[in-house]
Amino acid sequence: MTLREATVERTTAETSIHCHVALDGSGASTIATGVGFLDHLLHALARHARFDLELRCTGDLHVDDHHTAEDCALALGTALDRALGERRGIRRFGHAYAPLDEALARAVVDLSGRPWPQVELGLRREALGGLACENVAHVLRSLAIAARMALHVDVLKGDNDHHRAEAAFKACALALRDAVGRDGPADAVPSTKEVL
């Protein structure tokens, strides 16, 4: 069985990132982005997708959290894309609901090779820890673009923004776990086009 893993090194004038992901893991993660709430969300993503994830970032946090959040998502999305390779033998589609107390989120994934992020979180606070709430959705959008997947995430209910954000990442993780799952012949492309 081919190992489905990839490493991405991404260095810009704003961030320096090392990211390694293994799709057939146990959910183990070592994450240090410098933004505590971003670490928290990415830990949840790795744990519930059952991806092994190592992600380290040194970013220009003296400016703000935007570059770190965006570039970590781009590095992770690129690593997911590379780990999937030609996307043969995968389920391709995944969907999940995830509650967190009063919050409920839904995520639907298509590993189509065509990026399309549609993310509606309805967050009301300005920030969660050191992460601007606008960047929570931006992380999911950037992840979808770099991973070349259609990703629809909606928070359907919830009063607490921490719960809403975390439920969204957990739903996304569960949908991804389903979509990357092996299904059918290992060489089969899950598309009538025979290519993704």
When pLDDT is cut at 50, 70 and 90, the band that residue 1 belongs to is low
> Could you tell me the domains of the chain?
5-179 (3.30.230.40)
Beta-carbon count within 10 A of 86 CB: 11
The C-alpha atoms of residue 109 and residue 101 are separated, in whole angstroms, by 23
pTM for the model stands at: 0.95
Task: Give pLDDT tens digits for 148-177.
Answer: 999 999 999 999 999 999 999 999 999 999
Going through 41-92 in order, the beta strands assigned E by DSSP cover: 52-59
Inter-CA distances, 71 with 17, 47, 138, 147, 173, Å: 8, 21, 10, 13, 19
CB 111 within 8 A of CB 103: no
DSSP one-letter code for 181: S
Task: Give pLDDT tens digits for 76-115.
Answer: 999 999 999 999 999 999 999 999 999 999 999 999 999 9
65 in helix, strand or coil? coil
Going through the chain in order, the beta strands assigned E by DSSP cover: 5-11, 15-22, 29-32, 52-59, 93-100, 103-110, 116-120, 127-128, 131-132, 150-157
Residue 185 has pLDDT above 90, yes or no: no
Residue 141 has pLDDT above 60, yes or no: yes
Q: Which of 136, 130, 143 is nearest to 165 (CA)?
A: 136
CB 105 within 8 A of CB 153: yes
Compute the radius of gyration of the chain from its Cα atoms: 16
Q: Which of 106, 108, 114 is nearest to 164 (CA)?
A: 106
The C-alpha atoms of residue 176 and residue 71 are separated, in whole angstroms, by 20
The whole-number pLDDT of residue 186 equals 75
The whole-number pLDDT of residue 142 equals 98
The stretch 8-23 carries a mean pLDDT of 98
142 in helix, strand or coil? helix
50 in helix, strand or coil? coil
